[in-house]
């Protein structure tokens, strides 16, 4: 039987607790510094509070220290890792091998470690990583191949949220263009920008479109297939997302995992404890998304990108039927509410949004009438005000199911749950009336505590004696208080770093030989580690040694294929002359190189040939 984990993002402690309440088996959260989302840092004190809350339910807390660290920051990083260990953190997500080698608790290889082959995952295992977060680009067959080659490594896969167009950890476009390093948690979202597509003769093939902006990932229908392929942790992206996003997405995926476990109890079990009661119906279409794709899970296909916009379009709700003054009507069957957010693609192929101020039947009155809205245009709802109001309330409760045992002592009665027990002296008096139902009713009244009573077991014929309701209530309260004070034994990892393991380094992809900054060596610890692992030629990380030209992205996404011109896969022969380049609105260009033998597209700064 294998354990399955739903891993949820936590922007802050409120999001973390919401994730736990809605069914997460683990959460990942940013520390004050050194996380791959610089805007999502949290104090160690808040992380300790989250750990205490999570561990009641057997939920794990992982902290992201998955940025590159500079020499001047090593001492502070070491101090932070020690503080996180004391706080009760279960593992750290890291990409910097120097940091991993000094970690005092278990380490997981972040997706920034660029784990896309069985060989790389096997190497990371030899380094001491107990878990590896696989590249988002892998197919089911590739995930299965990794699991079969390295069956003892826990495999974590992304199942939902935003997609990076480049393999994570080897994207330098943001640093190159804006001095904001993605590997330092400051990505400027280069891939969400507009580009011209230019051929070798400087002809403009496409003008100012979002050519690299991928849709969002959604694999909710593939959880069983992923589990069967060897994945054990299902990761939701979104450490910058709000509580409403966390509630909705976690609830949707948790319910699907529960269905899988119920369907195949002999194969799978959830990683945490507790029964969740939901007070709403999750709907992934009503949460921020750029359109959904399962990406390369079942192989390469078109439709993974939206050239029109990198923003959330939401759900199609109808077409503009008639415009009159400061209002318009909609042809469709959807109901609208005051405060809904709608959008449309205007004649310039740009997404334009507006807020609905008032609704009268199918006639909508915007706060400000969009000037480019035309009759016949398709409308999309990207903010559902009614659903937002539901998510703002109490939408789920998570409780621990317990079995209470009530019985007799020599001079009274006892009440126990597991090893926790309380006793009360009270004379044994034969009851005139049946006591069973009252005993069960009084002991089951757990109110707003974190427990729910599944069963009351009565032993020693204790229900034949008279026990006042006040005594039963006293015993119940005393037991719950004792259980809370006694706490739950934590299952924190004792695996500590990879300092003494240095398996031989390989050039994981051929680009590593030409551009050794792909190893992301940014501090003395990492230099020492790689030297011991046999890397004789070390180039500093891209952030430490600026490059005027060079590789800035490696992508499985292929623009030639997206445009229908991959002749290897049935596309038409393009009329342009290669090499192609992308051009930003400020004139900076980036060369495209199509590596058809690897089914990969590389992007180079300054159109390097």
pLDDT in tens, 393-442: 999 999 999 999 999 999 999 999 999 999 999 999 999 999 999 999 99
If we measure between CA atoms, which residue out of 595, 560, 511, 599 comes closest to residue 199?
560
Can you give the pLDDT at residue 498? 54
Can you give the pLDDT at residue 487? 60
| Helix ranges, 22-65 (H) | 44-56
Look-up of token digits 């904001």: 180
Can you give the pLDDT at residue 489? 44
Strand runs (DSSP E) across 361-438, as ranges? 363-366, 378-383, 396-408, 412-417, 420-425
Calpha distance 593→608 (Å, rounded): 9
Rounded mean pLDDT of the chain? 93
Look-up of token digits 């019985």: 407
Give 378: exposed, middle or buried? Use CB within 10 Å, 0-12, 13-18, 19+.
middle
Q: Which tokens hold the place of 109?
A: 């290889």
Can you give the pLDDT at residue 490? 40
What are 105-156's pLDDT values in tens digits? Answer: 999 999 999 999 999 999 999 999 999 999 999 999 999 999 999 999 999 9
If we measure between CA atoms, which residue out of 423, 398, 421 comes closest to residue 483?
421
Q: Cβ(10)–Cβ(27) under 8 Å?
A: yes
* 261 bridge partner residues: none
Average pLDDT of the segment spanning 81-107:
95
Can you give the pLDDT at residue 505? 86
Calpha distance 17→247 (Å, rounded): 10
What are 540-561's pLDDT values in tens digits? Answer: 999 999 888 899 999 999 999 9
Q: At what angle do helices 74-87 and 44-56 cross, to 10 degrees?
A: 30
Can you give the pLDDT at residue 153? 97
Provide the CA 572 distance to its chain's centre, in angstroms: 37
Look-up of token digits 């190893």: 519
Look-up of token digits 């001079």: 411
* 358 bridge partner residues: 365
Can you give the pLDDT at residue 71? 96
pLDDT exceeds 50 at position 382: yes
Average pLDDT of the segment spanning 513-521:
94
Calpha distance 375→473 (Å, rounded): 67
pTM over 0.85: yes
Can you give the pLDDT at residue 486? 76
Q: Cβ(326)–Cβ(369) under 8 Å?
A: yes
Calpha distance 58→271 (Å, rounded): 8
What are 308-325's pLDDT values in tens digits? Answer: 999 998 999 999 999 999
Can you give the pLDDT at residue 39? 61
- Strands, sheet with 195-198, edge to edge from the N-terminal-most edge strand: 204-209, 195-198, 581-583, 589-595, 600-605, 550-555
- Name the DSSP letter for residue 214: B
Going by pLDDT thresholds of 50, 70 and 90, the confidence category of residue 485 is confident
Going by pLDDT thresholds of 50, 70 and 90, the confidence category of residue 35 is low
Q: Cβ(27)–Cβ(54) under 8 Å?
A: yes
pLDDT exceeds 80 at position 494: no
Can you give the pLDDT at residue 103? 95
Beta strand 351-360 pairing with 363-366: antiparallel
Can you give the pLDDT at residue 18? 98
- Alpha-carbon distances, residue 441 vs 341, 413, 426 (angstroms): 48, 17, 20
Widest Cα–Cα separation across the chain: 101
- Alpha-carbon distances, residue 606 vs 258, 499, 511 (angstroms): 50, 39, 17
Calpha distance 604→609 (Å, rounded): 8
What are 563-591's pLDDT values in tens digits? Answer: 999 999 999 999 999 999 999 999 999 99
Beta strand 327-331 pairing with 315-324: antiparallel
ω into residue 579 within 30 of 0, thus cis? yes
* 28 bridge partner residues: 9, 62
What are 246-259's pLDDT values in tens digits? Answer: 999 999 999 999 99
Calpha distance 218→295 (Å, rounded): 8
Q: Which tokens hold the place of 172?
A: 């330098």
Q: How many other β-carbons are positioned within 10 Å of the β-carbon of residue 368?
A: 9
Cβ-defined contacts of 422-429 (< 8 Å, 24+): 422/475, 422/478, 422/479, 422/482, 424/471, 424/474, 424/475, 424/478, 426/467, 426/471, 428/465, 429/465, 429/466
Q: Cβ(323)–Cβ(332) under 8 Å?
A: no
Average pLDDT of the segment spanning 53-62:
96
The DSSP line for 494-524 is -----TT--PPP--SSTHHHH-GGGG-B-SH
| Range 90-119 burial, b when 16+ CB lie within 10 A, else e | bbbbbbbbbbbbbbebbbbbbbbbbbbbbe
Average pLDDT of the segment spanning 27-34:
88
Provide the CA 539 distance to its chain's centre, in angstroms: 32
Going by pLDDT thresholds of 50, 70 and 90, the confidence category of residue 484 is confident
N- to C-terminal Cα separation, the chain: 52
């Amino acid at each position: 039987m294998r354990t399955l984990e739903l891993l949820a993002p936590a922007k802050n402690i409120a999001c973390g607790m919401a994730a736990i309440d809605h069914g997460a088996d683990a959460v990942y959260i940013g520390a004050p510094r050194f996380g791959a989302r610089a805007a999502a840092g949290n104090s160690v004190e808040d992380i300790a509070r989250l750990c205490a809350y999570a561990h009641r339910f057997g939920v794990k807390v992982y902290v992201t220290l998955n940025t590159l660290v500079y020499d001047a920051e090593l001492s502070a990083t070491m101090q932070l890792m020690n503080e996180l260990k004391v706080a009760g953190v279960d593992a750290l997500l890291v990409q910097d091998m120097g940091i991993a080698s000094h970690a005092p608790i278990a380490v997981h290889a972040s997706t920034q470690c660029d784990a896309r082959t069985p060989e790389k995952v096997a190497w990371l295992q030899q380094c001491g990583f107990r878990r590896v977060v696989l590249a988002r680009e892998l197919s089911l067959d590739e995930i299965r191949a990794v699991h079969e080659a390295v069956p003892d490594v826990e495999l974590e896969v992304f199942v939902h949220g935003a997609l990076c167009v480049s393999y994570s950890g080897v994207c330098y476009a943001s640093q190159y263009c804006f001095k904001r390093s993605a590997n330092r948690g400051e990505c400027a979202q280069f891939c969400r920008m507009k580009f011209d597509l230019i051929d070798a003769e400087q002809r403009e093939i496409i003008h100012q479109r979002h050519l690299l902006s991928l849709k969002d990932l959604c694999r909710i229908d593939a959880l069983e297939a992923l589990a069967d392929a060897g994945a054990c942790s299902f990761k939701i992206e979104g450490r910058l997302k709000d509580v409403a996003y966390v509630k909705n997405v976690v609830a949707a995926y948790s319910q699907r995992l529960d269905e899988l476990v119920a369907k195949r109890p002999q194969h799978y079990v959830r990683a945490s404890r507790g029964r969740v009661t939901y007070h709403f119906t999750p709907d992934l279409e009503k949460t921020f998304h750029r359109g959904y794709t399962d990406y390369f899970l079942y192989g390469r296909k078109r439709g993974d990108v939206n050239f029109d916009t990198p923003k959330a379009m939401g759900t199609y709700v109808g077409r503009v039927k008639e415009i009159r003054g400061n209002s318009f009507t909609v042809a469709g069957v959807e109901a609208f509410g005051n405060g809904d957010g709608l959008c449309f693609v205007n004649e310039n192929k740009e997404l334009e949004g507006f807020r609905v101020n008032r609704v009268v039947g199918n006639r909508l009155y915007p706060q400000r009438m969009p000037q480019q809205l035309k009759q016949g245009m398709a409308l999309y709802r990207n903010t559902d005000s009614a659903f937002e109001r539901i998510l703002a309330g109490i939408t789920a409760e998570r409780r621990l199911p317990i079995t209470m045992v009530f019985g007799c002592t020599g001079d009274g009665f006892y009440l126990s749950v597991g090893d926790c027990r309380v006793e009360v002296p009270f004379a044994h008096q034969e009851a005139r009336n049946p006591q069973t139902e009252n005993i069960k009713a009084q002991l089951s009244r757990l109110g707003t505590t974190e427990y729910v009573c599944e069963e009351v077991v009565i032993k020693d014929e204790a229900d034949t004696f008279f026990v006042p309701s006040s005594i039963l209530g006293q015993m119940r309260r005393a037991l719950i208080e004792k259980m809370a004070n006694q706490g739950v034994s934590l299952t924190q990892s004792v695996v500590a770093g990879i300092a003494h393991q240095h398996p031989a380094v390989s050039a994981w992809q051929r680009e590593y030989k030409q551009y050794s900054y792909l190893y992301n060596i940014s501090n003395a610890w990492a230099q020492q580690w790689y030297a011991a692992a046999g890397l004789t030629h070390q180039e500093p990380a891209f952030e430490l040694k600026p490059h005027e030209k060079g590789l800035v992205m490696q992508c499985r996404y292929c623009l030639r294929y997206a445009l229908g011109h991959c002749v290897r896969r049935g596309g038409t022969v393009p009329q342009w002359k290669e090499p192609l380049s992308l051009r930003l609105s400020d004139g900076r260009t980036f060369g495209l190189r199509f590596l058809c033998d690897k089914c990969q597209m590389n992007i180079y700064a300054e159109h390097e040939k």
